[in-house]
A and B are shown apart, each in its own frame.
Chain A
Amino acid sequence: MAHQAHAMLYSVDPSPSPLTGAVAALLMTSGLAISMHFHTTTLMSLGLVLLLLTMYQSSRDIIREGTFQGHHTPPVQKGLRYGMILFITSEVFFFLGFFSAFYHSSLAPTPELGGCSPPTGITTLNPFEVPLLNTAVLLASGVTVTSAHHSIMEGQRKQAIQSLTLTILLGFYFTALQAMEYYEAPFTIADGVYGSTFFVATGFHGLHVIIGSTFFAICLLRQAQYHFTSDHHFGFEAAASYSHSCLMSYDSSFTSLFTDEAS
């Protein structure tokens, strides 16, 4: 008797997450504008809560489909890999925009800036102090991520959990150091084009580090609950690829934004 043939790919069941995510984005962006004009953060907070709920529910659904129901066959995994690579590529181009903005203004500085770069009146940060430490922290987290990955592949649970925890701690350490740098910086985002490009680029980068740490935290919870197998742990690989791309963008911003002369 003929029976239903399951394809190697699967169609996802209907989900409210695209709608709630879109509504969350609307509420957050319009709420941000409202907060600037009317001094109330209600709308933005509502959007943020909805965003967090969407993140929680959609990732829970994906984990249920992949880990508990077994829908993530090898072709499906391949598709997920392609998706992550494309997304990371889009993030790279996102950062390239900010770097081009910086170079556009610094390679040919206008008379309004004093005809020099960094502009007149800006005391830049010494790149060999906290920025170098931040670079070291991110590089160390790259080492611990690789250690965690190899531990997972070789089936070593304890080492994997320890390396993953250390990675997350290093991410938090970077965020704390960057927050301290922001507080102590001698210039602000309002200080001409230098301040604008510096804080927008490093600010978005810091946000991406926070996102990476959150992703790893989810991976740590999943690893502790035995979700990952030694061959199939794409969630972890996606988090690792994302963090590595974050690290690369910090390395490039270190050489461009932080040095005293525009190269």
Chain B
Amino acid sequence: MTFFHVIQIFSIYIYLFVVRFDFSHLFNSVDHWTALPKIPLAAAAITFAPIGRPYRGHFSPARSRVTARSLSLPEWNRTSTRTSMAARLLLRTCPLRVLQLRGGTAARPLQRAMASAGGIPTDEEQATGLERRTLQALKQGKDPYSILKPKQYTGTKTDPHIVPSIGNKRLVGCLCEEDNTAIVWFWLHEGEPQRCPECGSHYKLVHHELPH
């Protein structure tokens, strides 16, 4: 969000408070807490807007280490290139001692080293548990948790329906024709392909392992 974007957002504020002058009725209750200035936060936002300038460099752990040197004002020390008026005001008003780290503790890098280098982790870095196993398997082209729609087979002797299973038998429900309301259930055992008792399509059990 650049300064220009802030101006865009607050153009309605500018219309209201510059073009239309008569807001006297808003200040009727002078003796009440609502007499706080009703100036929009645009003033503050414009002051702090430069913080949001897109950073076209790159973050590195060494540069982001919080030390006494990096906390000094920019005109004295060019290690910091992105400061805003607000940051400069802060450094001027608060004594440097207040902002330094106590004791001799080592400073943590302000920016965690993320693969994306922007600071937000990716699923590759941070996904865990079942979600991680699912994503890793899908990346390898496998679908151990049957998330995707099953593949279509013709069901003939040479192209039987492949039924993955982690054991040596699995229940199969055959919907012989589309729109049938009665499903034909049977146990499919490993070994020779079996046929549906109703329509005769071939089913073959194939063993597959789940990722651990």
For the complex, would chain B's binding face be called helix, strand, loop or mixed by DSSP majority? loop
Given A129-B23, A180-B34, A229 and B127 touching (CB < 8 A)? yes
- Asked if B51 contacts A70 (CB within 8 A), the reply is no
Report B178 CB to chain A, min CB distance, Å: 24
> Does A160 sit within 8 A of B, measured CB to CB?
yes
Which residues of A, 206-263, contact B by the 8 Å Cβ criterion?
226, 228-232
> Does A115 sit within 8 A of B, measured CB to CB?
no
Residues of B within 8 A of A3 (CB): 166, 210
- Asked if B130 contacts A74 (CB within 8 A), the reply is no
Cα distance A163–B120 in the bound complex, in angstroms:
14
By CB atoms of chain A within 10 A, which of B123, B130, B134, B210 has the most? B130
- Of A92-100, A151-159, A191-199, the one with at least 4 CB within 8 A of chain B: A151-159
- Contact mask B29-63 → A, CB, 8 Å, 1/0? 10010100010110001000001101100000000
> Does A136 sit within 8 A of B, measured CB to CB?
yes
> Does B180 sit within 8 A of A, measured CB to CB?
no
Which residues of A, 146-183, contact B by the 8 Å Cβ criterion?
147, 152, 154-160, 162-163, 166, 169-170, 173, 177, 180, 183
- Asked if B120 contacts A160 (CB within 8 A), the reply is yes
Report A160 CB to chain B, min CB distance, Å: 7
Which residues of B, 1-15, contact A by the 8 Å Cβ criterion?
1, 5, 9-10, 12-13
- Contact mask B99-128 → A, CB, 8 Å, 1/0? 000000000000110101111111101111
- Asked if B122 contacts A230 (CB within 8 A), the reply is yes
- Asked if A230 contacts B210 (CB within 8 A), the reply is no
Given A136-B13, A155-B116, A173-B41, A229 and B34 touching (CB < 8 A)? no
Cα distance A228–B28 in the bound complex, in angstroms:
46
> Does A12 sit within 8 A of B, measured CB to CB?
no
> Does A52 sit within 8 A of B, measured CB to CB?
no
Report A158 CB to chain B, min CB distance, Å: 6
Which of B9, B52, B122 contacts A229, CB < 8 Å? B122
Cα distance A139–B11 in the bound complex, in angstroms:
12
Residues of A within 8 A of B122 (CB): 155, 229-231
Which of A73, A184, A231 contacts B130, CB < 8 Å? A73
Which residues of B, 47-92, contact A by the 8 Å Cβ criterion?
51-52, 54-55
By CB atoms of chain B within 10 A, which of A2, A156, A228 has the most? A156
> Does A11 sit within 8 A of B, measured CB to CB?
no
> Does B16 sit within 8 A of A, measured CB to CB?
yes
Cα distance A136–B125 in the bound complex, in angstroms:
39
Residues of B within 8 A of A70 (CB): 127-132
> Does A36 sit within 8 A of B, measured CB to CB?
no
- The chain A residue sitting closest to B23, CB to CB, is A129
Residues of B within 8 A of A230 (CB): 116, 120-123
Report A166 CB to chain B, min CB distance, Å: 7
Please, could you name 25 A-B residue pairs with CB atoms under 8 Å apart, sorted by A? A6-B210, A7-B145, A69-B130, A71-B130, A71-B131, A72-B131, A73-B131, A75-B147, A128-B20, A129-B16, A136-B12, A147-B1, A155-B120, A155-B122, A157-B114, A157-B119, A157-B120, A183-B29, A183-B32, A183-B34, A184-B28, A226-B121, A226-B126, A229-B125, A230-B120
Residues on B facing A (Cβ under 8 Å): 1, 5, 9-10, 12-13, 16, 20, 23, 25-26, 28-29, 32, 34, 38, 40-41, 45, 51-52, 54-55, 111-112, 114, 116-123, 125-132, 134, 145-147, 166-167, 210
Going nearest first, the 4 A-B pairs with the smallest beta carbon separation are: A70-B129, A157-B119, A155-B116, A155-B118
Since A74-B131, A136-B12 are in contact, a sample of 5 more A-B pairs with Cβ atoms closer than 8 Å, ordered by chain A residue number, is: A2-B167, A8-B134, A75-B147, A157-B120, A162-B1
